[in-house]
């Protein structure tokens, strides 16, 4: 926005805090938008000042996905709620095999939240969106009284287009298909846990939060026959595989020894009594494809930096019960069940 049209008065980005007027629809709100959000997120559409963003549609199948982010703590090793909100929605769109085009974001701010932190989050969102080449084109801000929120909640909605001839969905897995993961499991969840006030432990570990649409595009180019893609976020790999097994009416057989888990993540999970298969990821995906195409897909994944540690972890089997089973490192068998209860709240 050019300077002559900007409302007068600077908000105090160093020491200021969100107050109720920032959500009132009045001048304070406009200042917040102009001085915090637009400098970081403002694309052409946002600058127009409308409550909507218009864009030209293309022929073909479109995908829409929405994702609310309530993570605690807001800033964590490897990212923050801003970058996570961009990546999370890009990934949801990308898991349809779609090319994400744009994002809309809505913020719920708690009265008293430091404007400096909000600025940092908006900057991180902007940076993540530019790096991913998926602009944030529309937004909304609301403020709730102190004690009624937890700093900031961000909901993002993404829209993308599915390339011609691609049909990826959770109900398409077939007995005999191969199951692949793009890298190590549990990094995000353990990185978050390491910063929780009542758990804090020392680790170099960082969240794996990353946009996966580039990896997905490379995978689709190599193997258009991919049947299912999903990012194993809350509930981890175990929950994601159970979802797909249920949707597709199949079972799965995994090999524990083939599932990549970082040493430090494995150690932290041992220590905390967690199973890395149930811990959240934010920059990893699960892919299912016909067995004959698995090696080609694996090579395409490993050629991308975000799929460097990809492996084939098992296969889809016929099973009327829809059980996900696993051969343990020891050589026995167990089920890999749905997550029961809540392993760790507020992880994304």
Partner 1 sequence: MRAGVKYVDEFRDHDVAAGLASRIAAEVDTSRTYRLMEFCGGHTHAIHRHGIQDLMPANVDFIHGPGCPVCVLPMARIDAAIELAERHGVTLLTYGDMMRVPAGGRRSLMTAKAAGADIRMIYSTQDALEIARRNASRPVVFFAIGFETTTPPTAVALKTAAAEGLTNFSVFCNHVLTPAALRQLLEPDDGDRVEVDGFLGPSHVSTVIGSRPYEVFAEHYGKPIVITGFEPLDVMQATLMAIRQLNDGRHEVENQYTRVVTRDGNRRAQDLMDEVFEVRASFEWRGLGDIAASALKIRPAFAAFDAEQRYDLTPSRSRDVKGCECPAILRGQKKPEDCRLFGTVCTPETPMGSCMVSSEGACAAHWSYGRFRSDGDTADRAA
Pick the binder of partner 1 from 73, 112, 114, 322 (CB under 8 A).
Answer: 322
The neighbouring-strand residues paired with 157 are 66, 104
CB of 175 to partner 1, least distance (A): 16
CB of 84 to partner 1, least distance (A): 23
CB of 231 to partner 1, least distance (A): 23
**Percent helix / strand / coil, the chain, rounded to 5:** 35, 20, 45
Among the residue ranges 16-24, 178-186, 195-203, 294-302, the one whose residues contact partner 1 (CB under 8 A): 195-203
- Which among 37, 43, 221 is positioned nearest to 133, based on CA atoms? 43
- 144-153 burial, b if ≥16 CB within 10 A, otherwise e? beeeebbbbb
Phi, psi of 156 (to 5 degrees): -120, 145
Q: How far apart are CA 198 and CA 13, in angstroms?
A: 30
318 interacts with partner 1 by CB under 8 A: no
| DSSP per-residue string spanning 19-47 | -GGGGSSSHHHHHHIIIIIHHHH--HHHH
Nearer to partner 1, 52 or 271 (CB): 271
Q: How far apart are CA 155 and CA 280, in angstroms?
A: 19
- Which among 306, 247, 260, 285 is positioned nearest to 91, based on CA atoms? 285
CB of 182 to partner 1, least distance (A): 23
**Site for partner 1, residues 199 to 238, rule: CB under 8 A:** 199, 201-203
CB of 196 to partner 1, least distance (A): 10
55 interacts with partner 1 by CB under 8 A: no
Token look-up 């993404």 returns: 158
Q: Count of CB atoms within 10 A of residue 316's CB?
A: 27
Token look-up 């069940």 returns: 337
Site string for partner 1, 66-105 (x = CB under 8 A): ----------------------------------------
- Which among 116, 156, 111 is positioned nearest to 132, based on CA atoms? 156
Q: How far apart are CA 92 and CA 66, in angstroms?
A: 8
Site string for partner 1, 245-264 (x = CB under 8 A): ------------x-----xx
Site string for partner 1, 152-191 (x = CB under 8 A): ----------------------------------------
229 within 8 A of 285, measured Cβ to Cβ: yes
320 interacts with partner 1 by CB under 8 A: yes
**Site for partner 1, residues 269 to 298, rule: CB under 8 A:** 270-271, 273, 275
CB of 334 to partner 1, least distance (A): 4
Pick the binder of partner 1 from 47, 131, 221, 267 (CB under 8 A).
Answer: 267
CB of 232 to partner 1, least distance (A): 18
329 interacts with partner 1 by CB under 8 A: yes
Among the residue ranges 37-45, 67-75, 110-118, 328-336, the one whose residues contact partner 1 (CB under 8 A): 328-336
Helix (H) or strand (E) holding 315: strand 311-317
CB of 95 to partner 1, least distance (A): 26
Q: How far apart are CA 6 and CA 9, in angstroms?
A: 9
Residues that bind partner 1 (CB under 8 A): 198-199, 201-203, 257, 263-264, 266-268, 270-271, 273, 275, 320-323, 325, 327-335, 337, 340-341
């Amino acid at each position: 926005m050019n300077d002559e049209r900007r409302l007068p008065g600077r908000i105090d980005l160093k020491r200021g805090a969100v107050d109720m007027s920032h959500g009132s629809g009045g001048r304070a709100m406009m200042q917040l938008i102009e001085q915090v959000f637009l400098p970081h997120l403002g694309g052409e559409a946002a600058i127009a000042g409308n409550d909507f963003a218009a864009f030209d549609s293309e022929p073909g199948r479109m995908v829409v996905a929405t994702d609310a982010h309530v993570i605690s703590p807001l800033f964590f090793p490897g990212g923050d709620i801003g970058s996570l909100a961009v990546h999370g929605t890009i990934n949801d769109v990308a898991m349809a095999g779609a090319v994400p085009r744009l994002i809309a974001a809505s913020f719920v701010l708690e009265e008293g939240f430091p404007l400096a932190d909000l600025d940092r989050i908006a900057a991180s969102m902007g940076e993540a969106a530019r790096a991913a080449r998926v602009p944030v084109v529309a937004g909304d801000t609301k403020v709730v009284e102190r004690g009624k929120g937890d700093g900031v909640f961000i909901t993002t909605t993404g829209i993308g287009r599915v390339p011609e001839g691609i049909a990826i969905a959770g109900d398409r897995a077939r007995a005999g298909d191969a199951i692949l993961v793009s890298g190590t499991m549990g990094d995000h969840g353990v990185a978050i846990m390491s910063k929780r006030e009542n758990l804090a432990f020392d680790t170099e570990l960082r969240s794996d939060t990353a946009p996966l649409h580039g990896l997905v595009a490379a995978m689709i180019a190599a193997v258009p026959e991919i049947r299912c893609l999903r990012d194993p976020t809350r509930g981890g790999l175990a929950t994601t595989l159970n979802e797909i097994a249920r949707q597709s009416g199949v079972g799965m057989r995994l090999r524990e020894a083939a599932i990549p888990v970082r040493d430090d993540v494995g150690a932290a999970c041992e220590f905390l009594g967690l199973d890395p298969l149930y811990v959240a990821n934010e920059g990893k995906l699960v892919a299912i494809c016909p067995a004959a195409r698995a090696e080609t897909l694996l090579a395409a994944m490993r050629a991308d930096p975000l799929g460097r540690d990809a492996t084939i972890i098992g296969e889809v089997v016929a099973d009327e019960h829809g059980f996900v089973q696993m051969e343990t490192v020891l050589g026995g068998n167990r089920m890999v069940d749905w997550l029961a209860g809540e392993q760790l709240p507020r992880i994304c």
